[in-house]
A = this chain, B = another copy of it.
């Protein structure tokens, strides 16, 4: 596999989900990656992605080199043809090419600017990087998608589902800051690709880009959406329509225990990090139906399945 940036890169997700579940049983298989190197390039903070991807590589016997480009490297130029007489010191073209020479697989994490939808949704940084990197590239979350998270999420659903085609609700939640749509876009895309029943609940104006949600039911009424849910995925995102905007007065979208009364068996998911008592209440997060830590653990095996197909 030359790149892993969306579910489209792997076709149907079931093969990877099953592979990740199998890896979870015997994760330490250090022969395959011996002598191979994973390079991780971070433009943005990370805890789970940083550590789970490293752990996955180590399980495969790979070496890992991490570069926090903003603090440790050079300020990167992203524009083709730029006359670099300002503050940027290295073109992403060279950074990508050089990392490709040093590493057998390269992961890159880059967030959107949330100022211009067209620009973010072009995935300029990720695509430019892939174009110039001779080694396979893994998205560690890009402007519009977070595929390693989605693979771990679907693996977690597979481990917990009690019916063949569960009802999954992706519900918007409040947040004090404008966040990317990447996790929600990606989750929707993977869930639909897996053929599950998906409802997306969000306030008006917070609908995701339709390219990710074709086939989902969109609802602006959270209680209706949550009825009979098997899985509830809670996540904030900023508006796609009023691009990058948030809105006040939506605190009642927080998922708390009262909202689960109508679906007491529904499993609750979130990708973490989560703002407690803003996005999700303590009661739900610490309750028996929360899958958030299982999702986090599964990040290791999702990354390992992807790496395993690149080395």
Which residues of chain B come closer than 8 Å to A98, judged between CB atoms? 47-48, 51, 272, 293, 296-297
Distance between Cα atoms of A67 and B277 in the complex (Å): 26
- A83 contacts B by Cβ under 8 Å: yes
Establish whether residues B273 and A94, one from each chain, have CB atoms under 8 Å apart when the complex forms: yes
CB distance from A152 to the nearest CB of B (A): 12
- What number of A residues sit within 8 Å (CB to CB) of B? 60
- Kindly identify which residue among B55, B67, B103, B273 contacts A74, using a CB–CB cutoff of 8 Å: B273
Distance between Cα atoms of A282 and B81 in the complex (Å): 7
For window 90-135 of chain A, which residues contact chain B by CB distance below 8 Å?
Answer: 90-91, 93-95, 97-99, 101-103
Instruction: Digitize A41-81: 1 where CB-to-B-CB distance is under 8 Å, 0 elsewhere.
Output: 01001111011101100110001010111011110010001
Establish whether residues B71 and A68, one from each chain, have CB atoms under 8 Å apart when the complex forms: yes
Establish whether residues A86 and B273, one from each chain, have CB atoms under 8 Å apart when the complex forms: no
Which residues of chain B come closer than 8 Å to A35, judged between CB atoms? 28, 30, 59
Establish whether residues B91 and A276, one from each chain, have CB atoms under 8 Å apart when the complex forms: yes
Distance between Cα atoms of A52 and B67 in the complex (Å): 12
- A178 contacts B by Cβ under 8 Å: no
- A246 contacts B by Cβ under 8 Å: no
CB distance from A171 to the nearest CB of B (A): 18
- Kindly identify which residue among B58, B74, B83, B273 contacts A47, using a CB–CB cutoff of 8 Å: B74
- A292 contacts B by Cβ under 8 Å: yes
Complex: chain B residue closest to A91, CB-CB = B276
Distance between Cα atoms of A19 and B171 in the complex (Å): 54
Instruction: Digitize A28-40: 1 where CB-to-B-CB distance is under 8 Å, 0 elsewhere.
Output: 1010000101010
User: Could you say which of A39, A86, A296, A300 has the most chain B C-beta atoms within 10 Å of its C-beta?
Assistant: A296
- Kindly identify which residue among B51, B68, B84 contacts A99, using a CB–CB cutoff of 8 Å: B51
Can you list the 7 inter-chain pairs with the closest CB atoms, starting with the nearest? A90-B273, A84-B275, A28-B35, A83-B277, A47-B73, A101-B297, A58-B63
